[in-house]
Structure 1
């Protein structure tokens, strides 16, 4: 039986051209009005002025999902939020997450410490290594994150455990994945660049009735300005959306990323600075440069709207991460001038991590006492398993700093995990949490955000080497409050207070000295302003804050082998940002941060690698925190087809060790971009480090990783 809705003789679609034609005829004729007595009069011309269509703002974001548990206007969030949109990522050819994050004020990229590899981040002076999220759900595996499937990256700054649980001291990094839009099309990208860089990406999507799908694909094969370095990376990110009914959607997304590369921390430190050697100088072994990662993440999200006021979203995520790698770490320097040598160590390491998280979020928007009100509440349950093994190689020799002669691995190379292991531990953790958060509009000008979260975090660790076990159970309340004043539609001023906590097993590791310690406590005080300029095309943001850890772990003054919670660390800072259109064809993203990060109280002593003296950490600046840092990026559309742009990435000098004897020098890197745009294709050339400046992106006590020298990439994007 035919559908009665489609059996009309004149379907609506067929009437549209007729209606347009009749409208045109009516407009062409003199406007006439008839009165009841039958007389007619000619009306005066009426001019209708239509508002010009608004094209999307390339660098400015209007909303964020990271400041609350629902999409919120950034001006309504009483906290500093930075959003790096895909347009800025594409303009800079920022293929790695850490490159995209260079646009975020107060954030620096760190070298992995100890057993850690992959993305290592410092935010407002505190480590954010375990504070990575994907679409608002924890995604904390250790690997190098790629941007091939990312729509935007949001960074919420300041203590934020009410939203994200344990950690979140300096803030969190949340990636928003590309999802089906219901459209049909495909975009292919091809990049070739210096050091035999080759990269292919595809973004394809389609829809049929109530099902829409999208597939993002990546293959990358590249060399490096660093000798004996190369990387091969494969990525697949399919996503699907099923519209069950008008109020119910089911979203399924998968991420598979595998990579083969080289463990390389760069050049050794010499007399408190990176050794003055060419940036390509490699100090490892010519073979056995193992660095393999395999990441798999599956997410299912069910969202349902009960009515116009009440909705729920339940998300289940399963993550599996595996790493196999050979470390290459530097040891003590034997200072003999030009004949100086540096000790080396090597270890075979493997870790397997499995996560399961279930997150349920309710949003209830209903006026209360006549005032607008948004109530958010929900729960989170998570289970994480982490298995880590490490075995040292033997007979690893020292090497000349200024004239290294490379050889194959030593005869004592660790090739498997048989025999005696340095580390062999298994850790499992469980999270149970519930939260409530309310945004109440006192008046059109004043809004209050207040809430709290309760976490129960349990961890158990089995040490197979020491045949010992540890466990720890912590419960924690995490309050948050904020006040927003918006005198008009372009101004927004706020004050916020937030807290966070760091349990001993935050990074899935316990020891005898930490198993009996309750969590460290953090709090963030912040005053900020958000202002729209030029009719809302350009946003300006500023914030002054103090972030402090009130009971940091430090050595017991009566027994240096024990740890107590008697230290303090704080960061006082100021941030400023601009994002959007300065002029209709001029897009800008600018950020600046001033950070004064200090260990204000500590009993811990450490030996300086330059002086050889034992020093207290009290009064020392935090590691990897430049006092001044910022980025300015501009994009000019000279014509609709031609685009030119570029920018400067700047950081002042910063300490790489905890007793402030080893320094990474300040730098300013200048990049440029030229692009030609057509309907079905774009051609873009990026030039990095135009001045060929020698600089170091990250470092630690005994090593520094050089940044890229003068180089270029050409990208062709084809769109259908």
Structure 2
């Protein structure tokens, strides 16, 4: 095995960890003005401790303790004590609880030290309880997305960014990542190939493993990530090549897991649902012993369930431990790991006959014993150190191991479409593969603020390096015992419209997966490195310019060992060996302008590009250079009603004028000795509009809504008709999530206090699959499939009493039927109307 690409064992992610306080007191007294840059300086943090009791000296639990004018807050524990973290400075400490008079005292916090305040004695309030709940949650445009690497608010960036916080994920009872995507306009599921993963896309471009991150580190999205561990989901739309190199043009997704906290707490829960689903969960956190410098968190779950699909089953185990270490007043280290084992029945859906979908939601076409077994283990170390008041250094080191073992029938293809006795017949074969992957990452970022004359700078300088080591073993059909040089390929023959129908079977056929023989072994060892610099210049209070560039280098070697004869397959000695080597590099610039006529609004325009490596050769036998994809984006961001509502609109145009396409016979540069040679002469254009609206919780209400329009088509092609749309990208999506918390309307004495209710709707319209018709094939049989439009409508209800919470959810209430398709051979119906309930206990 080759050595990992050299990397520094650095580093760590910003301190997680301050729970947003929910303050039940007068709104005008406790309005939280969060700093716009959203940065938390762990190096300058101190602690405040104290105790709260009633007039009889009894400890009072659940009292809100917060620093006025900030987002720092905590609640008292069962013994009345509290421990509150804050940046160094002078504050007003506010203690409030419904039914008691609010109290304030002045307090000064010193970095790295703990200050104890006198005990608070609560006195009953004689005033009527007419308070509203105000939270320390930042608005959509005030939040800084960690995946953006700059400690600045989204309002200052010439790019669309959306975050979905844990409170929203819990309200909506998110189970899969696709449940959370309904909160982000223009981010959608493209397909669910085999029912074992959720493939995502945005702005007409697919997200692969290059575009999906967990805690800032790429992860293999061949497995469905665990949503119960999420603290938030971050989406940086559009080009992110300057930050991450080889990523698709649509954007990047970062999943941020729950972080350690010094305050002790946690929960245990159980979720049950339709189709025999059940899922226990546990989440515990707190200081390690009595330490003020070390904290931990451990959350995990086990999941088991059947499916609305006949014979489909799944089970999975997930564990996510993490540790936070304050190494010095200026340095913090976060160590995170997770382990996910996922076993499920591979399911390529109901098939298609001549590009028509035979309507069914439950029909299962795979063979007995089919299984997709995946394990994924990862670890991340993130070190953050404050060099001085203006500069900080952040380093990340990560490792991931991914293993997959697939045994399944092949995808439903070559189904008989001629009317007659054999209509709908399909000859099933078997497939088997094994894949393993080691992934290594090192990343170092230096950020700082300074001035040069009248210009203010927020500078990012960084470097990263990563490496994929992959090993893939493919299997093929064995040689016939009675027909030399002929493979046995059939397992059986079924009718996809009626799988129970008795049909004549092949005379010689496969009987098990173990009969398949090794066909090839492919070893890959992709290595990448990048250097980047980016500067947000404040020209004036109203004008900002973001400029930067990245240089990326990529090696893509692979070694393919082929086993073509029975003897060599058995002895594992390769007949042939193919060595492939590619070396690519590219520059990725970025330039954006932000104009802020008022502090709560910004108008922006930007240009950026990204690149996609190509695998083909040109007419002279040389490797093709990467395709350069240009992106133009304009938009407006607004924080309305003093930050209570954020409303953003973005328009974009993405052009890949370097798309690779096969040179066709008859073309002036066609080379008969290289009939598969390619050229960078095609063009794909994506254009669209996105609207994202989010509110803070206000008077009990919270709102998320949005809309997206996208049109992605071939605008120059010698293979497909110009103007024909690319598959899998819906032209329209729309979303609405509306929740109400009854705490704001009812006093403590009513049973309705603790109740919350909400609805979530999601619309997908005008989405295509199948295959684009080829100009180069006379009377081509390829056709596109129009996927039925659908509206998902979900309703949920929750109730919390003391430490116990119960939530119920009814999903797809309208029982809509549509599909996720890959080509025409993985036609997976969406889930029907279903029910789930969760009960949890707060530790």
Using the size of structure 2 for normalisation, the TM-score is: 0.74
- Partners of 2:653 and 2:663 in 1: how far apart? 27
Once the two structures are TM-superposed, the CA of residue 618 in structure 1 deviates from its matched residue by 3.6
Change (3 A) 1:341 1:222: same
1:459-509 CA distances to partner (integer Å, 9 max, x unpaired)? Answer: 10111125211110011110011111111122111111111111136xxxx
TM superposition shift of 1:699 = 3.6
2:640 aligns to what? 533
Q: Counterpart of 2:811?
A: 688
Aligned-pair distance for 1:62? 3.1
In the alignment, structure 1 residue 551 sits paired with structure 2 residue 658: yes
The match for 1:654 is 767
Q: 1:499 aligns to what? A: 609
1:98 equivalent to 2:165? Answer no
CA contact (8 A) 2:432 2:516 kept: no
- Count of aligned residue pairs for this structure pair: 663
Is residue 164 from structure 1 mapped to residue 261 from structure 2 by the alignment? no
CA contact (8 A) 2:184 2:692 kept: no
2:754 equivalent in structure 1: 641
Asked if the contact 2:145–2:163 (Cα under 8 Å) also holds between the matched residues in 1, the reply is no
2:758 paired with 1:678: no
Aligned counterpart, 1:245:
328
Q: 1:416 to 1:544 in 2, by over 3 A?
A: same
The 8 Å contact of residues 629 and 650 in structure 1, kept in 2 or not, is answered as: yes
Partner of 2:679 in structure 1?
564
Is 2:428–2:490's contact at 8 Å kept on the other side of the alignment?
A: no
Kept in 2: contact 1:274–1:703 (CA 8 A): no
- Please say if residues 527 and 556 of structure 2, whose CA atoms lie closer than 8 Å, have aligned partners that are also in contact: yes
Q: Is residue 351–residue 827 contact of structure 2 (8 Å, CA) maintained in 1? A: yes
Secondary structure of the 1:72 match is: coil
1:68-124 per-position Cα deviation (integer Å, ceiling 9, x unaligned):
3133211112111121222222222222223322322222212366x9963311211
Distance 1:479 1:14, change over 3 A: closer
Which piece of structure 1 moves more, 658-667 or 454-463?
A: 658-667
**Are the aligned partners of 2:617 and 2:623 in contact in 1 as well (CA < 8 Å)?**
no
The farther-off stretch of 332-341 and 701-710 is 332-341
1:704 maps onto 2:827 in alignment:
yes
Deviations 1:655-709 (A, max 9, x none): 1134152221111111110111233121110101111111213442233111110
Quick one: distance in 2 between partners of 1:298 and 1:347? 32
Please say if 1:176 is aligned against 2:256: yes
- Picking from 126, 146, 160, the partner of 2:226 is 146
Of residues 180, 196, 201, the one that matches 1:122 is 201
In the alignment, structure 1 residue 371 sits paired with structure 2 residue 469 = no
Q: Secondary structure at the match of 1:99?
A: helix
Contact 1:555/1:564, CA 8 A, preserved across alignment: yes
Contact 1:491 1:530 in 2 (8 A): yes
**Shift of residue 411, structure 1, vs aligned partner:** 5.0
Residue 384 of structure 2 corresponds to 303
SS in 2 for 1:90: helix
**Secondary structure of 1:64's match?**
coil
Counterparts of 1:199-238 in structure 2 under 5 Å? 199-207=279-287, 208-238=291-321
- SS of the residue 1:354 aligns to: strand
Structure-2 change in CA distance of 1:583 and 1:251 (3 Å): closer
Q: Judge conservation of contact 1:290–1:326 (CA < 8 Å) in 2.
A: yes
Shift of 1:638: 3.4
CA distance in 1 between counterparts of 2:50 and 2:794 reads 51
1:291 aligns with 2:388: no
Match of 2:16 in 1: none
Query: Against the structure 1 CA distance between its residues 641 and 15, is the aligned structure 2 distance closer, same or farther, given a 3 Å change threshold?
Result: closer
Write the distance in 1 (CA, Å) between the matches of 2:333 and 2:697: 40
Contiguous gaps of at least 5 residues in structure 2: 1-47, 56-91, 94-102, 104-130, 478-488, 563-575, 665-669, 744-752, 773-782
Residue equivalent to 1:400:
495
| Cα gap change, 1:16 to 1:262, in 2 (>3 Å) | closer
| Structure 2 residue corresponding to 1:620, chosen from 720, 724, 741 | 724
- Counterpart of 2:344? 261
Per the TM alignment, residue 298 of structure 1 is displaced from its structure 2 partner at its CA by 0.6
Distance 1:700 1:102 in 2: 24
Residue 329 of structure 1: CA displacement? 0.4
8 Å Cα contact 1:294/1:321 also seen in 2: yes
Cα separation, 2, equivalents of 1:262 and 1:116: 8
Q: Which residue of 1 aligns with 2:532?
A: 435
TM-score for the superposition, normalised by structure 1: 0.87
Over 3 Å counting, the alpha-carbon distance change for 1:212 and 1:512 in structure 2 is farther
**For the aligned residues, what is the CA RMSD?**
3.0
- Whether the aligned pair in 2 keeps the contact of 1:284 and 1:406 (CA below 8 Å) is no
**TM-aligned CA distance change 1:205 to 1:15, over 3 Å:** closer
Separation of aligned partners in 1, 2:675 and 2:811: 47
Correspondence for 2:123: none
Q: Structure 1: which 5+ runs fail to align?
A: 1-10, 21-26, 28-50, 605-615
Superimposed CA distance per residue, residues 505-554 of structure 1 (whole angstroms, 9 cap, x where no aligned partner): 6xxxx899998111111111010111112221111111011012121121
**Contact 1:314-1:358 at 8 Å conserved across structures:** yes
- Return the match for 1:190 from 266, 270, 274: 270
Which residue is 2:424 aligned to?
Answer: 340
Higher percent of residues as strand: 1
> Are residue 486 (structure 1) and residue 486 (structure 2) matched?
no
Structure 2 counterpart of 1:33: none
SS in 2 for 1:366: strand
2:169 match: secondary structure: helix
Matched, 1:349 2:433: yes
CA distance in 1 between partners of 2:366 and 2:52 (Å) = 74
Cα pair distance change 1:414/1:464, threshold 3 Å: farther
Partner of 1:132: 212
* Counterparts in 2 of 1:511 and 1:263: CA distance versus 1, 3 Å: farther
Are positions 1:470 and 2:565 aligned together? no
- Is 1:524–2:631 an aligned residue pair? yes
**How far does residue 417 in structure 1 lie from its aligned partner after superposition?**
9.0
Aligned counterparts, 1:555-634, within 5 A: 555-557=662-664, 558=670, 560-581=675-696, 583-604=698-719, 616-634=720-738
Aligned equivalents of 2:618, 2:512: Cα separation in 1: 28
Asked if the contact 2:145/2:161 (under 8 Å) is kept, the reply is no
2:476 and 2:517 in contact (8 A); partners too: no
Say if 2:353 is the partner of 1:270: yes
- Checking the alignment, whether the CA contact within 8 Å between 2:134 and 2:697 is kept in structure 1 is no
Match of 1:453 among 550, 571, 574: 550
Task: State whether residues 141 and 353 of structure 1, in contact with CA within 8 Å, keep that contact through their aligned partners in structure 2.
Answer: no
Distance 1:688 1:14, change over 3 A: closer
